[in-house]
Amino acid sequence: MLKLMKYEFRKWRVTLLALLAGLAGLELGFIAGVKLEKPQLMIVCLSLIMVLTFAAFAYLVIAGIAGYSQELREKCGYLIFMAPVRSISIVLSKLLFIALVALAATALFGTAGWLDARYLLARSHLDAQTLDSLNAMLRFGLKTDATVQQILQMAGFSAASVLLEVLLTMCTAYLAITLSATLLQNKKGFLKGLISIVLFVALSWGSSWLAQKLLYERVALGTTLEEVKATLGWSLLMNFILCALFAGASAWLLDHKVDL
């Protein structure tokens, strides 16, 4: 599977380099604003970095789903489906690569924006109340008396939760696309895309309904750190099971129902 992820990296490297170049350009603009003492330039660059953070995440996830659909539509795509490997390895390599890259890009851009925002606030002349409010936002709502261990634990749970949420969205989309390819074998055009969207909405609704019945109606949403961790733990388990089921179903369909 690692070799397949290496292939995915080669396919995406131009896009990733373009995103890094965009971040570097905005950071240079922010630094130029600092050197030239132009706060307007600093604010514009910081705002664009924050926009790029969300845009890069959304683009990578959507493009990853669209790429899978294109490779199925073109049968062999880049010949990856003709490689002597199991379909589950192909599906997992695509899912993990896009999810990890999207989160890494978000973390990198978000960290750059957070550091720039802290620097900008340190040099600003806002009143004390406004500065306290903004600093609280930059601490992501954490209490000032939270221990380092608690902060790291919540950061770990949050990162794992986001990763599985992204994987679940992509697994749902992959299964919808694969089901569409199964139901409309050798068909092309608008209908196939429409069926994929309908299946994605139906599967997403079914996942939410199942989580509501099995998780949120049985596990109390607490306010203490331990209660929040327990709720997140059950949510992680539920999402992991759904990811495994959807990815496994996609791989099985690729092996037995889809003419590649």
Please tell me the total count of domains within the chain. Answer: 2
Q: Among 108, 141, 174, which residue terminates a domain?
A: 141
Quick check: 247 and 92 in contact, CB under 8 A? yes
Average pLDDT over residues 45-65: 90
CA angle 59, 63, 66 (to 5 degrees): 145
Q: Are residues 110 and 167 in the same domain?
A: no
What are the pLDDT digits (tens) for 108-152?
A: 988 888 888 888 777 765 455 555 554 554 554 444 445 556 656
Among 89, 111, 141, where does a domain finish?
141
pLDDT band at 78; cut points 50, 70, 90 = very low
Q: Are residues 153 and 239 in the same domain?
A: yes
Q: What is the mean pLDDT of the chain?
A: 78
Residue of 143 and 198 predicted with greater confidence: 198
Domain finish residue from 111, 141, 171: 141
- 110 alpha carbon, distance to own chain's centre: 13
CA distance 26 to 63: 23
Q: What is the pLDDT of residue 260?
A: 61
Could you identify the residue written with the tokens 């990763």? 163
User: Within this chain, do residues 46 and 151 fall inside the same structural domain, yes or no?
Assistant: no
**21's tokens:** 């170049």
> Do 89 and 123 form a contact (C-beta atoms < 8 A)?
no
Give the structural domain span for 243.
143-260
- Please tell me which residue, 29 or 141, carries the higher pLDDT value: 29
Q: Note the pLDDT of residue 129.
A: 52
Length of the chain: 260
Asked if residue 114 and residue 181 are part of one domain, the reply reads: no
Identity (one letter) of the amino acid at 252? Answer: W
The three-class DSSP label of residue 79 is coil
Task: Indicate if 133 and 217 belong to the same structural domain.
Answer: no
What is the distance between the alpha carbons of residues 161 and 149, in angstroms, rounded to a whole number? 18
Could you tell me if 190 and 103 lie in one domain? no
195 in the same domain as 115: no
Q: How far is CA 116 from CA 49, 113, 245, in A?
A: 9, 5, 42
132 and 194 assigned to the same domain: no
Both 40 and 86 in one domain: the answer is: yes
Give the mean pLDDT of 146-164: 66
Pair 7, 28 in one domain: yes
Arithmetic mean of pLDDT, 85-93: 84
Residue 60 near residue 101, CB atoms below 8 Å: yes
Q: What pLDDT, on a 0 to 100 scale, did the predictor assign at position 230?
A: 65
State the sign of the Cα–Cα–Cα–Cα dihedral 81, 84, 87, 91: negative
Q: What is the pLDDT of residue 16?
A: 92
pLDDT of the residue at 180 = 86
Q: Which of 14-18, 62-66, 179-183, 213-217 has the lowest mean pLDDT?
A: 213-217
Q: What are phi and psi of 218, to 5 degrees?
A: -110, -25
**Residue 17 to residue 27: CA distance in whole angstroms:** 15
Q: Cα–Cα distance between 28 and 116 in angstroms, integer?
A: 11
Tell me the C-alpha to C-alpha distance, in Å, between residue 102 and each of 22, 43, 61. Answer: 15, 25, 7
Both 82 and 137 in one domain: the answer is: yes
Residues 55 and 177 in one domain: no
Please check whether residue 23 is in contact with residue 15, taking contact to mean a CB–CB distance below 8 angstroms: no
Please give the average per-residue pLDDT across 175-200, as a whole number: 79
Which comes out higher in pLDDT, residue 24 or 216? 24
- What is the pLDDT at residue 141? 47
